[in-house]
Amino acid sequence: MEHELTGLPGPGGRRRPVAPGPFALPAAALALLPVRPAWLWAALIAAAAALPWALGVVHRRGRSRWRLSAAGLERLGPDPVRYERSRIDALAVTTADGALTVLHRFGRTTVGTLTALGLEPLALFVTARRLGIRVHVLDGDAADLTDPALEDAAPEGDEVPLPRDHAAERRLLDQEAELLAAAHEPPPAAPDGAREPRELSSPAPVPSRHRVALLSALTGLLGAAMIARIALDGAPDFGARLAAACWTLIAITGVLAGRRRLLLSRRIRWTVSPEGLRVRARRVRELAAGDVAALVVGPGLRPDPVTGEPRRTDLAVLAFDHRLGLAARLPAHGLDAFQLAHALDDAGYRVVTPGVRPPHTPEYGLEGLPEIFGQVPGGRLVVAEGGLGWADAAGEIVLRMPADRIGGIELLTIGGHAWVRLYDSDGDEFFAAPLSALRVSRTDLRESARRTGLPVNDAEYDAYLSAAFHSAVSALSVPQPGGPSAPVAAPGVLLDATRRSRIATYVLSVVLCEVVALLGSVWLGPHLGGFAATASWALPAGVAIGLGGYWLYDRNRAQLKVSAAGLAVVTKRGRVEWDLTHDRVGGVGIDDSADRTPRLVVWAPSGRVVRHVGFPPDLEELRRACERYGLPWGPPDADRPAPPPPEL
């Protein structure tokens, strides 16, 4: 059997309405026309409202999907594309934008982002290596990879001009190694108490799906009933037809909003048992336990419930078989990752997670140490004769470790307790234990080892001394005028909202005021001299109020300032809404990880979202400004080592 990877299908295939939002406007426009007889007028409105649903049933587009196999990388569907295997030298994945680039004899071709192709990085990495295709994981984006200037500046012999992203590549290699181990090792036995199936489900939506469906149906029926009532009266004047147009928009909007909410709130239900898995989402998927070698639990892809396009999700499960082929993609969004991973592990499945695993620590106490340590009464760790030793209560050394066998001594804190790790001359860890079990204090071991000349590293203590020295010196020194400045006062680039978004907001403000003026003319027109007389002055007043009201807001709109000192949002009159110094900014970019509209956010170095930018500046200008002033673009790397906390 050949190795093959098929991506998630693209949009199309399902019976969904075709452009229901734009078709609502012709339906409302038909309601304003004086069509006679009245039954024909009502029939035209109903036909215009039902036309998108009829087109969705009649015109079903074929779904395209990407496949990586021995034949190469190809797109299956209405517009097929193929990159033959014999012409592919290597594949490159750029971590900045998640794009896939094909390296061939005559250059490089960017295929698209992995999300748009419906391919997961791990599945692509494993399948390509099984097919003998080299995969480069690069730090940068696809535009830099295909830039001729970088190609000329690349060192001689390098196949790609960008540096490798070692952290991302190491994660993929570690997961591939775990998958190989799971495919060749016997599966772990399930505990005795895990024979019963365990049920997991996503939280129930609020309000419930039944209430949403009922409210949506009542809105549509109410709109249809009101239009039918107006048609029975003959739709005598423009005011009645305008009311019918409003009821048309209300009915269509209610039905579409209810349908969207129902699609987004579909629950996920898992049944985990040692015999197999049963996942119920839009359809039921079952997997036998014998067909699964390992389950990768972590961020992944899923089809968008509304559009059908592949999109990223916080939690998904990839099931790999014993040939390291992707057996199934199982949806898990909405579930608790902790409960899901432990439930799968308890049922006897091999679980692989992309997160960094905690360091391996032996048992706490003398039971986890060598036997001789526990056989010596009152034994303790000492530094003597240029190395380490284990001494008894009388001070006599019964076990020695010479200095030439010690490549390094690391002191650190794990779970609130001081630990020591010993490394050999090759840099491999061969011993780790808590200092309380060794009966030696952290300070004594550190100072004694440094006096003897042993290589000891206590990063937390060094950071504490550095912070204490810095605070003492900064308290005694006088600040200079040329010192670091605040993000607001520092020279930088001021980014405004794009012209297109400002114009769109102006138009939306005018349209809303016109809708209010029109509805006011309908309801209050009979008391103010008729609909025509009231609308003659209400509509121009609505235009003036819409333009003037938004101009008052726009003249003091917020702007984003990017400088070497950090980020700040400042209004045109100088009021500071918020600012962040450079050391508090871990990344700037678009956050599309949650089930909401992607937004421009600022991340802290820990990966937490600390600020939201409410207006949309030009993203290319913002990225160039961040690169110019040294601010990181994109979310911070979760695997980047953080500075150790000071020793308190």
Alpha-carbon distance of 280 to 90, in angstroms, equals 38
List, as own/partner pairs, every contact residues 208-215 make where C-beta atoms lie below 8 angstroms and the sequence separation is at least 24, other chains included: 209/262, 209/265, 209/266, 212/258, 212/261, 212/262, 212/265, 213/258, 213/262, 215/254, 215/258
Strand 599-603 and strand 609-613: the pairing is antiparallel
Alpha-carbon distance of 312 to 299, in angstroms, equals 7
pLDDT score for 482: 45
- Asked if the model's pLDDT at residue 611 lies above 90, the reply is no
- Asked if the model's pLDDT at residue 546 lies above 80, the reply is yes
> Whole-number mean pLDDT of the chain?
82
Specify which of 170-184, 274-288, 530-544 reaches the highest per-range mean pLDDT.
Answer: 274-288
Residue 190: how many other CB atoms lie within 10 Å:
17
Nearest to 240 by CA among 465, 34, 40: 34
- Asked if the model's pLDDT at residue 443 lies above 90, the reply is no
In words, the CATH class of domain 375-471 is mainly beta
Q: Is the pTM of this model over 0.85?
A: no
What would the DSSP string read from start to end of 530-577? -HHHHHHHHHHHHHHHHHHHHHHHHTT-EEEEEETTEEEEEETTS-EE
Identical fold at 192-203+267-352 and 375-471?
yes
Higher per-residue confidence, 479 vs 402: 402
Mean predicted confidence (pLDDT) in 611-638: 79
Torsion of CA 375, 380, 383, 386, to 10 degrees: 0
Flag the least confident range among 80-89, 391-400, 423-432, 591-600: 591-600
Is the link from the previous residue into 37 a cis peptide, with omega within 30 of 0?
yes
Q: 261-284: string of b/e by CB count within 10 Å (b at 16+)?
A: bbeebbebebbbbbebbbbbbeee
pLDDT tens sequence across 473-513: 655 544 444 444 578 788 888 888 888 888 888 898 889 88
Strand 99-104 and strand 380-384: the pairing is unpaired
pLDDT tens sequence across 293-333: 999 999 999 998 888 889 999 899 999 998 889 999 999 99
Q: Model confidence at 471, in pLDDT bands (50, 70, 90)?
A: low
pLDDT tens sequence across 256-269: 999 999 988 889 99
Nearest to 588 by CA among 570, 563, 558: 563
pLDDT score for 317: 94
Q: 574-590: string of b/e by CB count within 10 Å (b at 16+)?
A: eeeeebbebeebbbbbe
pLDDT tens sequence across 347-387: 889 999 886 454 444 444 444 456 666 666 677 888 887 78
pLDDT score for 637: 59
- Asked if the model's pLDDT at residue 394 lies above 80, the reply is no
pLDDT score for 224: 92
Taking CA atoms, 608 is separated from 260, 277, 280, 601, in Å, by 29, 34, 32, 10
Q: Model confidence at 558, in pLDDT bands (50, 70, 90)?
A: confident
Mean predicted confidence (pLDDT) in 263-279: 91
Given the candidates 2.60.40, 2.30.29, 2.40.50, 3.40.1130, the CATH classification of the domain at 192-203+267-352 is 2.30.29
pLDDT score for 165: 78
What are the residues facing 320 on neighbouring strands?
Answer: 294, 326
Mean predicted confidence (pLDDT) in 12-37: 82
pLDDT tens sequence across 99-148: 999 998 888 899 999 999 999 999 999 999 989 899 999 887 787 776 66
For residue 433, the Cα-to-chain-centroid distance in whole angstroms is 37
Q: Model confidence at 648, in pLDDT bands (50, 70, 90)?
A: very low
Q: Model confidence at 595, in pLDDT bands (50, 70, 90)?
A: low
pLDDT score for 641: 42
pLDDT score for 647: 38
Mean predicted confidence (pLDDT) in 44-50: 91
pLDDT score for 184: 80
pLDDT score for 642: 42
Alpha-carbon distance of 219 to 567, in angstroms, equals 46
pLDDT score for 579: 87
- Asked if the model's pLDDT at residue 645 lies above 50, the reply is no
Domain ranges of the chain: 192-203+267-352, 375-471, 485-640
Mean predicted confidence (pLDDT) in 405-419: 82
Mean predicted confidence (pLDDT) in 602-623: 81
